[in-house]
Amino acid sequence: RKEVEQDPGPFNVPEGATVAFNCTYSNSASQSFFWYRQDCRKEPKLLMSVYSSGNEDGRFTAQLNRASQYISLLIRDSKLSDSATYLCVVNSPLRDGAGTASKLTFGTGTRLQVTL
Amino acid sequence: DTGVSQDPRHKITKRGQNVTFRCDPISEHNRLYWYRQTLGQGPEFLTYFQNEAQLEKSRLLSDRFSAERPKGSFSTLEIQRTEQGDSAMYLCASSINRLAGGRSGELFFGEGSRLTVL
């Protein structure tokens, strides 16, 4: 079983639609969670962190359910520019003495295509 | 440009040849990571350096792979006796710890070195 699982999509939605992506992770010791965005043929970039209480950044809302080991990302009023692959990312600690370094494990990504 | 830079951007080689990739992280970042990404997959962790110390290696990193960061600045990833299965995008990323002002979970990726093994 993969450590982080996502539906690869693609999700094809019209502009203005609301779309939700889900992700599950297998390591219950995982400490923190993120969504990264990757445009076609580009490097991944941090979109937002995911907190247990849920958090919002403009049109984007992220949720975490630790008991179910489940993470979600909701995009409201989707724009053409939101078309990209959304990577669910889980953080587990590395051995670095200070105990503060992270190994980020990425899911396969969910591809979103927003159309006119 | 003060981002993460990788060289070369593209490399085509014949099976059995050795290749080396270089990564120059953001200058104040003490942490450096190598990931590998193939089409339709997310980046897969290969190895991690804190300064010059290699602190973690994935099982994906066979004996043919070696990474170094000799002075705690740039890093190299060498693949010996390349195989067709090594064809992938090799991504380097750097970060700085939160105590130094870094944002939790934020890795800054380079644009990658694409390897094609014929």
Cα dihedral: A86, A87, A90, A95 (round 10):
-140
pLDDT at A68: 94
Tell me the chain B residues in contact with residue A32 when contact means C-beta distances shorter than 8 Å: 104-105
Instruction: Check: CB of residue B77 under 8 Å from CB of residue B20.
Output: yes
pLDDT at A99 over 80: no
Pairwise CA distance, residues B85 & B102, whole Å: 35
* Model pLDDT, residue B60: 79
By C-alpha distance, the chain B residue nearest A94 is B56
Give the span between the Cα atoms of B95 and B117, in whole angstroms: 30
> In the numeric block, which tokens belong to residue B22?
């270089």
Q: What's residue B100's pLDDT?
A: 62
* Mean confidence (pLDDT) of chain A: 91
- Residue A107 with chain B: CB contacts under 8 Å: 42
**What is the structure's pLDDT at B88?**
97
First-to-final CA distance of chain A = 37
pLDDT tens-digit map of A39-75:
999 999 999 999 888 899 999 999 999 999 999 999 9
pLDDT tens column, B63-104? 999 999 998 899 999 999 999 999 999 999 998 876 666 677
Beta carbons of A103 and B56 less than 8 Å apart? yes
